[in-house]
Amino acid sequence: MSWYRNTVWFVKGLREYTRSGYESASKHFNPADVEVDVSGRSFLVTGANSGIGKATAKEIARRGGAVHLVCRNKERAEVAKGEIVTDTGNRNIFVHVVDISNPREIWTFAGKFKNEHKLDVLINNAGCMVNSRELTEDGLEKNFATNTLGTYILTTALLPLLEKADDARVITVSSGGMLVQKLNVSDLQSGSGTFDGTMVYAQNKRQQVVLTEQWAKAHRNIHFSVMHPGWADTPAVRSSMPDFYQKMKNMLRTEAQGADTVLWLAVSSEATKLPSGLFFQDRQPVPTHLPLASTYSPPEDEEKLMEVLEELSQKFKSVSPG
């Protein structure tokens, strides 16, 4: 069935995920949804020094929000901060240097952040697509460590802070690529078989959808959502998928178009009128499975994912400073 899923997904992508798909969908957007003042609200964006993360941070800053940029590279983060401050006039932009593939760093950062700041909206945007199997210093497969475990630890570590907020939200930037993957809890770190970075990334993105659905059930006071930004022209796409980029570069969305639904989910009152836990594309909830694709998972597999991630996260918490 994999050939079927890949083919249907690509045809769907050509129709919906490209710039023309965005332009078609945006005809039905209500501009007033995002023309809001979010002064006094605090937003944390991971992977915020470039691409969709930076575009999102900039638009939130333009609307008056305090924005915490969580980035791996301090120099690039400071450049992004300077650009955002210059473009928006908003000086409430803060840089935090954290490697989302390093669980100890995340725990340490979250502990410190909870003592020093408030938080209304968490945007899990940081991600990676490493095309050969690479291990972190902790022995974790790097895509899994960043896209899945890092997202899990940061979110769960900050839940107590989010629970204190009015209208708290968590948005995770996933990918339509997850539609070609069924959750596989038997090989979360891609240690068996041929390693395909694109499919590993898609599996991680399926895991993020499951995480969002599970969190939504467990934490009723927070609005969770996960989204697909479409195929956008970002530095990550250029570096991780050069062949795809060369074929599609004239059809790709801009970074701002890719970030539009993230912004809508983060600031609009319309977003939270919809149920928590949904998967969005162009400001609309969309199915998480292709027709006839056999990608549904039994509940026990989804529960197993949560159990394994919790066990792993606690392992690193116990040896984390502070």
Question: Which of 111, 112, 57, 105 has the alpha carbon at shortest distance from 85?
Answer: 57
Based on the residue annotation, tell me whether 201 is a catalytic residue of this protein: yes
Residue 14 — pLDDT band, cuts 50, 70, 90?
confident
pLDDT at 263: 98
Domain limits, the chain: 3-316
Across 273-298, average pLDDT: 95
Across 19-25, average pLDDT: 96
pLDDT at 304: 98
pTM for the structure as a whole: 0.96
pLDDT for 237 beyond 50: yes
Residue 283: alpha-carbon gap to chain centroid: 15
The CA distance from 174 to 229, in Å, is: 8
Across 66-73, average pLDDT: 98
Across 60-69, average pLDDT: 98
Across 228-249, average pLDDT: 86
What is the per-residue pLDDT across 111-122, written as a single tens digit (0 to 9) for each?
Answer: 999 999 999 999
% of residues, the chain, pLDDT over 70: 98
Q: What is the residue-averaged pLDDT of the chain?
A: 94
Question: Which of 201, 275, 253 has the alpha carbon at shortest distance from 16?
Answer: 253
Out of 29-33, 163-167, 255-259, 318-322, least confident range? 318-322
Q: What angle do CA 83, 87, 93 make, to 5 degrees?
A: 60
Across 261-270, average pLDDT: 98
List, in order, residues 6 or more apart from 213 with CB less than 8 Å away.
277, 302
Across 264-280, average pLDDT: 98
pLDDT at 1: 55
- Pairwise pLDDT comparison (319 vs 224), residue with the higher score: 224
pLDDT for 217 beyond 80: yes
pLDDT at 105: 97
- Pairwise pLDDT comparison (5 vs 117), residue with the higher score: 117
pLDDT at 322: 43
Longest dimension (CA), the chain: 51
Beta bridge partners of 171: 123, 225
Q: Say which CATH class 3-316 falls into.
A: alpha beta
Residue 190: alpha-carbon gap to chain centroid: 20
Q: Which of 17, 22, 152, 201 is catalytic?
A: 201
What is the per-residue pLDDT across 80-107, written as a single tens digit (0 to 9) for each?
Answer: 999 999 999 999 999 999 999 999 999 9
Out of 218-227, 236-245, 254-263, 268-277, least confident range? 236-245
- Pairwise pLDDT comparison (310 vs 12), residue with the higher score: 310
List, in order, residues 6 or more apart from 281 with CB less than 8 Å away.
16, 176, 227, 228, 230, 261
